[in-house]
Amino acid sequence: MKKSLLITSLLLSLTIYGQTWNLTGNSATNPGTNFLGTSDNKDFIIKTNNTERVRINSDGKIAVGGAVDPEINLKVHGRSQIVSNADSDVFFVGNDSDNVGNGNDLIFLRYGKYQPNNPSVMTVSGLTEPSKYEVLFNIRANGNIGVGIHNPQYKLDVLGKSSFSDNMKVGGKVEAKEVKVTATPTADFVFEEDYQLPKLEEIEKHIREKKHLPEVASAKEMEKEGVNIGEFQIKLLQKIEELTLYSIEQNKQLKFQEEQLRHLQEENKTLKSQSEDIKELKKQVQQLLSTKK
């Protein structure tokens, strides 16, 4: 009887002074004394199906789905397979909030101390080929962003080809080893047989009145509206091709004039020879007349 009473008293004291965590919720808990976890230098583990899913080690490092990395505060491991289900993401961060204010962020990442050594804030990397591991995306502490580059040197540093399907505005200058502009049509219509080459007199008149070439925007228009490089290059090519045709025509005229001059020189040479012959005949006639006297 005494033994049964002692056991009952012990269980009652444990119930009074201990805290039981219920699956349906708890009340009157004290965060200073009531918690889930360990009170010694041991890891805290969460399992499902008797398999470890989450581990918080004694240093506070957290691992989800794999081993704790001593250098990373939170590390998520995951494996996936090709399935038809669209919700098969390995790691997903989402926000389904409605009507978020203009000054708020749906997803916000921030580090709170200045980093003078410019470390990487975030890096996304992976295998782009079966045996080729590459950095895909990187943000540095100084604000530089790299695509395909781990240590970007500019606000946007891209390694590889880039494609823009809409207008791109640049506030500063553009530096490039090569610029390729694709625009149609080209200016080869100038060489068609039915193309009416402008008369030089008309071009001269336009330049005197407008102070710029025909079909080319004035300096004021370029300063106000800017210049479409592709269209401008084609227009310049058109003027160069027209100038080429003028040069070809001028060359024909020069050759014709040279030919005419050559004929004139030959005729002049012939006339000179004939003049010499006439002088000689005149001399002989004078000698004959002089002898008869």
Tens digits of residue pLDDT in 201-221: 999 999 999 999 999 999 999
Which residues are within 8 A (CB) of 29 and not within 5 positions of it... i.e. 6 or more apart? 19
pLDDT at position 244: 93
pLDDT at position 16: 46
Closest CA to 215 of 190, 194, 191, 192: 190
pTM confidence score: 0.56
pLDDT at position 70: 78
pLDDT at position 122: 92
**Interval 191-200: pLDDT, tens:** 999 999 999 9
Query: How many Cα atoms are found within 13 Å in the side-chain-facing hemisphere of 223?
Result: 3
- Collect the ranges in the chain with pLDDT lower than 70: 1-20, 78-91, 292-293
Give the percent of the chain with pLDDT over 70.
Answer: 87
According to DSSP H, which parts of the chain are helical? 2-17, 200-210, 219-225, 229-292
How high is the mean pLDDT of the chain?
Answer: 84
CA distance 72 to 61: 7
CA distance 259 to 156: 65
Closest CA to 119 of 155, 75, 152, 76: 152
**Interval 221-277: pLDDT, tens:** 999 988 888 888 899 999 999 999 999 999 999 999 999 999 888 888 888 888 888
